[in-house]
Amino acid sequence: MNEELIHPFTFGDMSQKDLLGGKGANLAEMVRIGLPVPPGFTITTHACREYLRTGQMPSRLNDQIDAALKDLEMQSGKKFGGVDNPLLVSVRSGAKFSMPGMMETVLNVGMTPEVTESMAASSGNPRFAWDSYRRFIEMFGKIVCEISPDEFHKVQERITSSSSAENIQNADGESLKQLCDGFIKVITLATGREFPQDPREHLIRSIEAVFKSWNSERAQMYRRRERIPSDLGTAVNIQSMVFGNLSDDSGTGVAFTRNPSTGELGRYGDYLQKAQGEDVVAGIRTPISLDEFEQLSPVVAGELDSVMELLEAHYEDLCDIEFTIEKGKLWILQTRVGKRTAEAAFRIALQFVDEGRISMDEALRRVSGDQLAMLMFPQFDTSGPLHEIARGIAASPGAAVGEAVFDSKRAFDLSKSGKRVILVRRETSPDDLVGMVASQGILTSRGGKTSHAAVVARGMGKTAVCGTDAISVDERANLFTVGVTTVYEGDLISIDGTTGAVYLGDVPVVASSVTSYLEGRLSATSDEAAPIVKAVDRILVYADSKRKLRVRTNADTPEDAIRARILGAEGVGLCRTEHMFLGPRRSYVERLVLAENDDVQHSVIAEMEPLQRADFVGIMMAMSGLPVTIRLLDPPLHEFLPSLVVLSSEMARAEALHEEVSPRDRALFAAVNRLHESNPMLGLRGVRLGILIPELYKMQVRALVHAFLEVRKLGHDPRPEVMIPLVATQRELLYLRQTLEEEIAKTFKGSGIRYEIPIGSMIETPRAAITADRSGVYSDFFSFGTNDLTQLTWAFSRDDVESTFLPRYIDLELLPFNPFESLDEAGVGILLRTAVDLARGLRSDFKLGVCGEHGGDPRSIHFFNSLGLDYVSCSPFRVPIARLESGRASVIT
């Protein structure tokens, strides 16, 4: 096989992310448009996939690396492994999809003690040379040799404490040389072998470490969260080093072409003088802003502004840029389309529309339902007394309250036990991802707007306050101090990622301005409306104009129906009538089951009818002029009756103590024992209950007709539909439909009103899906109950698997995601597609919808749109999200 596994940065462009990874493709693009990029080459994702498959570096890769290094030496006039004028390189990961901080980087590869001495002499700056070597040894030890960072911190503390330096940044060349010796001893002791001195071995092992990092725990967790496929692999970028730690007119930074937190116009970013790139991202030092950098170096700042303008115009999007300045010379190390908060996504998309750079369709593609959901989260109520103890950099907006926790693993464990936690660290590293995911928010004492904590939090939609210099974090003692206040682990704190404020205690929250707008309590045109409200309004109105899917709601009460209609629902797609008999009304179902004979049973049903009628009146009035789909009773009996285990225990106890048992309790025990089912979800429920107790469903349609007449009399426009649950065969449907039609006609008789109430069925079983052409003859519409359909297709009991093996399956990537959260298109999706094709084969206008929880899931909505369904139905809160995603589905090809 003669496949090229390496390409120079002069090869390719930004469209080749599959081959070159995101970083490599963007480096090639920047070279193509003439930006100052340090030369280098990219090892393709194909090489990584081969390594992951075989566990060995591809045999042909070695020769290709040698050839690429020779080309790089010719370009730079330097020699890799040479002592005089040495070529040093960085080794960086670069997957197709951005995974900031999740994989590895090794800088200054090519350094040896001899090279360091030569650099110290040629630069006249021993501190710079030994600092660069120190960085390489530490990275090599942590990443390649997999040694705990704590081992290096111990050496660092010992060296700095024995010198006049307060920290590593103030250490002189001699102290740094001692530090290098100490680090090498740590590696030798940990690995049982001498520290290698061959630069080529350093390079090969660093490349292999980057390949391995694709499957690191944090990388896998990030991919699961972001739904990134696990089989893509990463490219590796080998780039000539430029040194931001060389001199006073050197430094490194990260710049965004617009504010990725708020979406405001203007440069945004951080700069560190005399530093290398990882210092900014790691948050080890608190940087200065780009405005301060302009005062420090106006000429280079002007050059950076020009690069930012060029890249933003070229990519037609917010750009995230890493740069280094070496002795006054600007170098661009990488760029990518920048991650941003939900607010920034909406505002920036519309800014680009108004600037004439993109269309409204493209603006709609650049926002998401998940982002809209984030904007609907509550905010702090600052009207009452507050105890603000510090203020840091507002790195990722939101309001987060929780117990202060100083260790990522502990944060994960506490969160899993149900506690709200705030992860507090001096600075975060990629190893903290597990705690960051589990926490309500992140608070750091160091770092800036582009630190690891800030970038990852923005990408995940987590609240973050960084660079809070006033607090002193002691991670060993599990506390932080600010002034005279000490906050211990377990103390409640509140952080505001919009203002940067840190409060002691639990600050109450209020609805966000976006939620107030969506619920009709704030007009988007009012003076009080924030820019984000106006942006959401504009995009949501446009999404409504583009979408083909209608959006209904799942509502069981008039209050839910009213709320959903305000939020934009176009009817009720699922009214679960069994939910009307939970709580105080539960006794009706219990009495129905315990009925000794038909007369008693009919008496209980008669008592239920006026309750149903009143509920139906309220819901149809709230949805006047819009369809309301009433699902007939579908009560798994175990949800309404006492537990057989509990009752058996009580009966046994009573007998043992010779206590008297009431006739009612004996009757209840006998009934529960008689009706006990090993798997109630597959037992007497849905259509089966309606067939065995026909008076029950007849009562429901009578109540619905009476409610219809009452609502019509009040001047409203009721549009009810009846839906039969858990149908598996057309014979069930035909049998029950005839019974219901007769009862509906009988109830309408004498009213002087003729109205055809559509009768449809839920598709919840695989058999119903694959025989949809048969039941479709007797059904006016189908609604896919994807919750039960998923359970039955996978043979998963949702109540059980989500708390037992399903999380482990996802961890092992045996499942790419929870199929109850997003629809399994490859399995359940085939059943839906089959049913759609069969139904539309009967009637081209056969009405089809979805009423499971997937109806509000952004990813699933795109699949439903591709099937040509008529509507989705979801909870009231998710109606705006479904509206937005339905619009996006129409413009995304």
Smallest Cα–Cα separation from 396: which of 330, 326, 465?
465
- CA 434, 435, 436 angle in degrees (round to 5)? 95
Residue pair 616/720 in contact by the 8 Å Cβ criterion: yes
Residue pair 404/374 in contact by the 8 Å Cβ criterion: no
Query: Half-sphere exposure of residue 791, counting CA atoms within 13 Å on the CB side?
Result: 19
Sign of torsion over alpha carbons 577, 579, 585, 591 = positive
Tell me which residue has tokens 């617009």.
258
Distance CA 559, CA 355 (A): 43
| Amino acid symbol at 65 | I
Distance CA 91, CA 234 (A): 12
Distance CA 373, CA 370 (A): 5
CA 94 to chain centroid, in Å, comes to 21
| Amino acid symbol at 276 | Q
Residue 259, number of CB atoms within 10 A of its CB: 21
Q: Is 851 a catalytic site residue?
A: yes
Distance CA 804, CA 163 (A): 54
Q: Which of 7, 48, 319, 452 is catalytic?
A: 452
Q: Which of 48, 180, 851, 874 is catalytic?
A: 851
Return the structure tokens found at 798. Answer: 């949702």
Residue pair 451/282 in contact by the 8 Å Cβ criterion: yes
Task: Strands of 172-287 (E only): list them.
Answer: 234-240, 251-256, 268-273
Distance CA 19, CA 236 (A): 11
Residue pair 572/554 in contact by the 8 Å Cβ criterion: yes
Distance CA 616, CA 720 (A): 9
Distance CA 150, CA 133 (A): 19
Give me the phi and psi of 839, to 5 degrees please: -65, -45
* CA separation, residue 842 to residues 73, 111, 124, 557, 761 (Å): 70, 74, 85, 35, 15
Residue pair 260/113 in contact by the 8 Å Cβ criterion: no
Q: DSSP of 463-504, one letter per residue? A: EEEE--TT-EEETTTTEEEETTEEEETT-EEEEETTT-EEEE
Task: Strands of 555-681 (E only): list them.
Answer: 572-576, 627-631
Give me the phi and psi of 513, to 5 degrees please: -65, -30
- CA 832, 834, 837 angle in degrees (round to 5)? 110
* CA separation, residue 241 to residues 141, 205, 247, 332, 732 (Å): 19, 18, 15, 11, 74
Distance CA 801, CA 630 (A): 30
Return the structure tokens found at 353. Answer: 């529309």
Q: For the CA atoms of the chain, what is the radius of gyration?
A: 32
| Beta-bridge partner residues of 873 | 552
Return the structure tokens found at 88. Answer: 């040093």
Max CA distance (Å), the chain = 106
| Active-site amino acid positions | 452, 851
